[in-house]
Amino acid sequence: MRYSDVTPKEIYLNRRRFLATALALPIPAAAATLTAAKTAFNATGEKITPQKITTTYNNYYEFGTGKDEPAKNAPKWKPTSPWTVRIEGEVMQPKTLDLDRILKLAPLEERIYRHRCVEAWSIVVPWIGIPLSALLNQVKPTSKGKFVAFESFYDPQQMLSPRKAGIEFPYVEGLRLDEAMHPLALLTVGMYGETLLNQNGAPLRMVIPWKYGFKSIKSIVRIRFSEQQPPTTWNKSWPAAYGFFSNVNPNHDHPSWDQKEEQRLGEGGLFSAKIVKTQMFNGYGDQVSKLYTGLDLNRNY
């Protein structure tokens, strides 16, 4: 049963009361404050991927390297409360904010985004969150803050070791500042009208819809502004395959997978999955292509 099923409408539409229970109770879809710009963010005309698939077929190496393992192992983990995010580096006002304060920075929005993996499968998900820029603007980057680095929570007592996972921990990711500040970049706390499950990156993750899935760092605890391009986990682990920019680009193949097509999970039946053509920037080119004017996207993959 959802929170909205047992709570009067006038209460669950009250955003502040919802925030007080955001970590403990499902997010009613009605509690997401949908902005007038919602249509522009939607992957219109596309079927939303069944929730069962997106919550049981995941990449989250801290909880397993197989797609089915995070859903089995992550629920055992209990995120710390209050959850805090430290924002530091080339900023005028470094801060540590808890999740409640973060969610008060901007109205919650529901955005239906395409989400493509470099392994040539894709999903369409209704995410709930706030613009990433709303958080980043709190610390006032200096003129040297040209890049934004992100770090995931890591506890070796509850999560895989780097040796077993095959990558370094804590997991780190990075964006150029203009990418991080783009209106499409979403700081996410829910999906399908409910709070994020552990395997989906609870309690706070990032979703960048024009980039490959591994740019969507999960369980964020630290953000750092820097003058130099920061290291990223997959770029360090396999630089020939995973570049810093990691834009969805059907013209630049991964060493192991063709990027010109993708398998849309949850569509096409049991034995014949729906295959669709991969779009440049995952179909968000009209909004983001100007970010890369003059940049060779084969060299800067």
Give residue-wise pLDDT tens across range 103-148: 999 999 999 999 999 999 999 999 999 999 999 999 999 999 999 9
Find all residues with CB under 8 Å of 193, minimum gap 6, and list them.
2, 26, 27, 28, 29, 32, 110, 126, 128
Same domain (yes/no): 131, 171: yes
Least confident of 6-15, 37-46, 183-192, 208-217: 6-15
Spatial contact of 257 and 221, defined as CB atoms under 8 Å apart: no
Q: What is the DSSP letter of 200?
A: G
Spatial contact of 187 and 204, defined as CB atoms under 8 Å apart: yes
- Give the CATH number for residue 87: 3.90.420.10
Same domain (yes/no): 70, 152: yes
Task: Show the tokens assigned to 270.
Answer: 């049991």
Note whether residue 193 is domain-resident.
yes
Note whether residue 300 is domain-resident.
no
Q: How many helices (H) and strands (E) does the chain have?
A: 12, 12
Give residue-wise pLDDT tens across range 57-67: 999 999 999 99
Where does residue 118 rank: exposed (0-12), middle (13-18), buried (19+ CB within 10 A)?
buried
Position 11 pLDDT exceeds 60 = no
Note whether residue 299 is domain-resident.
no
Alpha-carbon distance of 105 to 50, in angstroms, equals: 30
Helices (H), the chain: 3-6, 9-12, 15-20, 38-41, 51-54, 69-73, 99-103, 132-136, 162-165, 177-180, 233-237, 285-288
Region 158-171: mean pLDDT is: 97
pLDDT of residue 4: 34
pLDDT of residue 122: 95
Same domain (yes/no): 192, 137: yes
What mean pLDDT, rounded, does the chain reach?
Answer: 87
pLDDT of residue 45: 72
What does 115-148 look like in DSSP terms, one character per residue? EE-TTSEEEEEEEEEEEHHHHHGGG-B-TT--EE
Same domain (yes/no): 92, 209: yes
Region 257-261: mean pLDDT is: 94
Same domain (yes/no): 167, 199: yes
Q: What is the CA radius of gyration of the chain?
A: 19
Same domain (yes/no): 105, 17: no
Position 3 pLDDT exceeds 80 = no
Domain count along the chain: 2
| pTM: predicted TM-score of the whole model, two decimal places | 0.87
Confidence band, pLDDT 50/70/90 cuts, at residue 20: very low
Alpha-carbon distance of 72 to 90, in angstroms, equals: 39
- Closest by CA to 153, choosing from 203, 106, 109, is 203
pLDDT of residue 44: 56
Position 283 pLDDT exceeds 50 = yes
Give residue-wise pLDDT tens across range 203-247: 999 999 999 988 999 999 999 999 999 999 999 999 999 999 999
Note whether residue 243 is domain-resident.
yes
Same domain (yes/no): 111, 76: yes
Alpha-carbon distance of 186 to 181, in angstroms, equals: 10
Task: Show the tokens assigned to 14.
Answer: 């009250």
Structural domain of residue 8, as residue ranges?
1-31
pLDDT of residue 73: 97
Confidence band, pLDDT 50/70/90 cuts, at residue 94: very high
Alpha-carbon distance of 252 to 65, in angstroms, equals: 25
Position 22 pLDDT exceeds 90 = no
Same domain (yes/no): 20, 133: no
pLDDT of residue 35: 43
Position 40 pLDDT exceeds 80 = no
pLDDT of residue 269: 72
Alpha-carbon distance of 16 to 207, in angstroms, equals: 24
pLDDT of residue 46: 87
Confidence band, pLDDT 50/70/90 cuts, at residue 23: very low
Alpha-carbon distance of 47 to 175, in angstroms, equals: 29
